[in-house]
Amino acid sequence: MNRLEAMQIYVRVAELASFTQAADSLGLPKASISTAVKQLETLVGTRLLHRTTRNVQMTQDGVLFYERSKDMLADMEELQALFQQGEGQISGRLRMDLPSAFARNIVIPHLPEFLQLHPRLEVELSSTDRRVDLIREGFDCVMRVGNLTDSALIARPLGNLRQINCASPAYLQEYGTPHKLEDLAQHKLIHYTSNFGGKPVGFEYTDGGKTKTIAMSGTITVNNSDAYQAACLAGFGIIQAPEIGTRELIQQGRLIEVLGDYTAEAMPLSLLYANRRHLPKRTQSWMTWLTQLVQPYLV
């Protein structure tokens, strides 16, 4: 095993704090991972990792070696890319995480176009409402809807997503169509929460640039965007969601927009990536393509 491969292995072990997870991530036997790290420690003449039965932690020297290794690996990847002829030569694995609505409605239908430009790429696409750990889980970049809290990551703001209120025709036939905020007293809201047990936010709308809420009853609470939409289609009540996930259903007549003058504040859309001096060319190309793809859905 050469030194670059050993450095790549060490970086994965350090990021995941686990020999086993690093082995699974890289598709290598655990014994090979351990041997590579030991050889690297012998080569540099210092212990890089503290190993216990429960976890793996970097030593002070290990932290310094980790940071320098990331830079060197990125530089090497960039150097190799200098001699590739054209965008079509981009290769390797591209792993990203996207909100379900974006993956289903926009990215996957257009993904063949991107792969025609870069046929040597292998794509791993995660689509979940769970906030993945970009570094620990080895993602090249992730797309996030809403306000950001990952201060250790670099953010590329894309714009804002318009939100709308909608309900199913069957629900509106039973409860009537609301035309003003006072009408909501006679309606039900499908509640969305990341963690069960908390108090539902209620119906949100903007007034004079400020967000206001109206408490509403509801039969069902969900923690997944697909379930949120499915509950609306089943007639459980009104939802407030980004237009991008409901536009096609409205065009088909399966959902109907209501209270268009009382929508929730537009939600920020961002791409996040690791704090690296050089981004791999495949990641840069993906982010540029994705930025162009989502523009028609932003306000």
Instruction: Give the residue from 47, 64, 82 where a domain finishes.
Output: 82
> Does 96 lie in the same domain as 8?
no
Q: Are residues 278 and 157 in the same domain?
A: yes
Mean pLDDT computed over 78-90? 62
- List pLDDT tens digits, range 121-178: 888 899 877 788 887 777 889 999 888 876 778 899 999 999 999 999 999 999 999 9
pLDDT bucket at 84, cuts 50 / 70 / 90: low
Q: What is the pLDDT of residue 115?
A: 93
Please count the other Cβ atoms lying within 10 Å of the Cβ belonging to residue 181.
15
- On whether both 183 and 216 belong to a single domain, the answer is yes
Q: What is the mean pLDDT of residues 50-66?
A: 85
- Domain boundary, last residue among 56, 82, 108: 82
In this prediction, what percent of the chain has a pLDDT beyond 70? 93
pTM exceeding the 0.85 threshold for the entire prediction: no
pLDDT band at 72 (very low <50, low <70, confident <90, very high): confident
- Judged against a pLDDT cut of 60, whether residue 86 lies above it is answered with no
Q: Are residues 282 and 140 in the same domain?
A: yes
Contacts of 108 (CB under 8 A, 6+ apart): 125
Q: CA 120, 125, 272, 289 torsion: positive or negative?
A: positive
**Can you list the alpha helix ranges (DSSP code H) found in the chain?**
3-16, 19-26, 30-44, 60-82, 100-102, 108-117, 169-175, 225-233, 247-251, 281-294
- Which residue range(s) make up the domain with 17? 3-82
Tens digits of residue pLDDT in 218-231:
999 998 888 999 99
Q: How confident is the model at residue 93 (pLDDT cuts 50, 70, 90)?
A: confident
Burial (CB count within 10 angstroms: exposed 0-12, middle 13-18, buried 19+), residue 83: exposed
Total number of domains in the chain = 3
The answer to whether residue 87 scores a pLDDT higher than 60 is no
Read off the pLDDT of each residue in 75-82 and give the average, rounded to a whole number. Answer: 68
Q: How far is residue 71's CA from residue 276's CA, in Å, rounded to a whole number?
A: 7
